[in-house]
Structure 1
Amino acid sequence: MSPAIHETRILAVLVLALLAAALVAAGVEFLRRSPYTVPQTLLLAWNRFVTRVLWRTEVRGSFDLPRDQGAVIIANHSCPFDPGFIALGVDRIMHWMVAKEYCKHPLTGPFLRPFAVIPTSRSGQDTAATKMMIRYAESGELVGLFPEGRINDTDRFLLPGRLGTAMVALKARVPIVPCYIEGAPYDKRSILGCLLMPAKARVTFGRPIDLSAYYGRENDREV
């Protein structure tokens, strides 16, 4: 090998090493400045890539609440990644009710635990989970609910909603923010199958619903 070729290779290695060091430094600085934990930051970045690039998600409307204002976010349930679509329009951590088996599953659990999801039973009658949601909302956090209770894999526009959404908002004395998701990918055979499906999704945020006129009447059936 001639000295010139040897020097060129050494120079190329040095340039690549400098580029790698610069990328690492930029990544460390990005993580340092992020208001979230390292796992949250990495997962949110991955979510943004998947929803924006793979599923070409469009966000309509805006989430106009102060950062210290708690709220209950409700949405239709069209695919397992629905919270990720909503996260595109909400620059805050949300606490979603998630079936207990997903929280314990070795594949899905590591993606859910960094966001302090609220494990719940599929029966829809989980007092402990409901109380946890109320505490989060009262303390200025965002909590998320799918009133349908399960993924809507039918031809119906919406499944019948379960009771409790308004009660959580009334007890916590926070507004409800409605969202609607359309065009999301869904594979009945596998959650991971959704990642292989192209889509053109859209999430629309409605205006916050102020329930202050009904505070103290959460046990009133007419409300």
Structure 2
Amino acid sequence: MFYGAMKIAIGSPLKAAFRPWVEGIEHIPNEGPAILASNHLSFSDSFFLPAVLDRKVTFIAKEEYFTSPGVKGKLTAAFFKGVGQLPVDRSGARGAGEAAVKSGVAVLERGELFGIYPEGTRSPDGRLYRGKPGGLARVALASGAPVIPVAMIDTEKVQPVGKVVPKLSIRPGIRIGRPLDFSRYHGMEGDRFILRSITDEVMYEIMKLSGQEYVDIYATAAKRQLAEAAKAAADPH
């Protein structure tokens, strides 16, 4: 009920203001579990995608959104729960990965839609980065659910980093691909080459849908490189 209320309160105005276009929405099943694997350009991705779908989609979010102190923290936690986000502790990489997989499988076992960003973090420059195999592939194999590639388009231009006021002149898009079936790999969850193969196949489909330039490094590494370059430029000595 809360999700429905939040979707009306946030999703409807979002659609009215930005008029997001959608292609391939027929690939989203009317019922049953499915994994929506999307590129990640903006904080708003987790709002635009649910806004255009009739079904509820659940994403995972960093635990800090749910545990911040004070009134603002409680309101933030209520908001993220209301829009279908699940908290995951990212403090330990291995523990975070296990928590993400368990959360995803639990959502899918209820016959619902689970949303995941294989890049693990937002793209720092609009390009598509290497997918992390620990989450997406493991959830797909553990659940047996189909993986539906999704491309968010121009969402990073709606509210660029550092800008408070969104640009209503930008009309973002969402392109949804055909479901991918990885049942042929059932029982191979422990094979890291299989996990990499599944992840790369999904990222290739996202690249085709989005038209993004692909970079074969992790986005976290790219962000680290950018930060180090900025630091070096600011302090040449």
TM-score bracket, shorter-length normalisation: 0.7 to 0.9
- Which of the residues 42, 45, 60 maps onto 1:82? 45
Structure ID, larger Rg = 1
**Match of residue 160 from structure 2:** 187
Alignment of 1:96-115 (within 5 A): 96-105=59-68, 106=73, 107-115=75-83
The whole-number CA distance in structure 1 between the counterparts of 2:13 and 2:40 is 18
Q: What is the DSSP-based 3-state SS (H/G/I as helix, E as strand, rest coil) of the residue aligned with 2:25?
A: coil
- Which of the residues 151, 165, 170 maps onto 2:141? 170
Assess if the C-alpha contact under 8 Å between 1:59 and 1:88 holds in 2: no
Change (3 A) 1:144 1:48: same
**Match of residue 120 from structure 1:** 88
Deviation of 1:220 (Å):
1.9
The whole-number CA distance in structure 1 between the counterparts of 2:162 and 2:77 is 19
**Match of residue 128 from structure 2:** 158
Aligned partner letter, 2:190: N
Deviation of 1:66 (Å):
4.1
Deviation of 1:103 (Å):
2.5
Alignment of 1:54-65 (within 5 A): 54-65=17-28
Deviation of 1:128 (Å):
2.3
Length, aligned pairs only: 182
What is the aligned-residue RMSD (CA, Å)?
2.1
**Match of residue 221 from structure 1:** 192
Assess if the C-alpha contact under 8 Å between 1:179 and 1:204 holds in 2: yes
**Match of residue 6 from structure 2:** 43
Aligned partner letter, 1:186: Q
TM-score between the two structures when normalised by the length of structure 2: 0.69
Change (3 A) 1:169 1:47: same
| Structure 2 gaps, min length 5 | 195-237
Deviation of 1:45 (Å):
1.5
**Match of residue 36 from structure 2:** 73
The whole-number CA distance in structure 2 between the counterparts of 1:91 and 1:218 is 32
**Where is the helix percentage greater, Structure 1 or Structure 2?**
2
Judge which range, 78-87 or 199-208, deviates more.
78-87
Identity of aligned residues (%): 27
**Match of residue 129 from structure 1:** 100
- Which of the residues 148, 152, 156 maps onto 2:119? 148
Assess if the C-alpha contact under 8 Å between 2:159 and 2:166 holds in 1: no
Residue deviations 1:164-198 (CA, integer Å, cap 9, x gap): 211101111100011001111233236xx2x5332
TM-score between the two structures when normalised by the length of structure 1: 0.73
The whole-number CA distance in structure 2 between the counterparts of 1:66 and 1:204 is 15
Assess if the C-alpha contact under 8 Å between 1:169 and 1:176 holds in 2: yes
Judge which range, 140-149 or 114-123, deviates more.
114-123
Deviation of 1:82 (Å):
0.5
Aligned partner letter, 2:176: F
Aligned partner letter, 1:62: I
Deviation of 1:89 (Å):
3.6
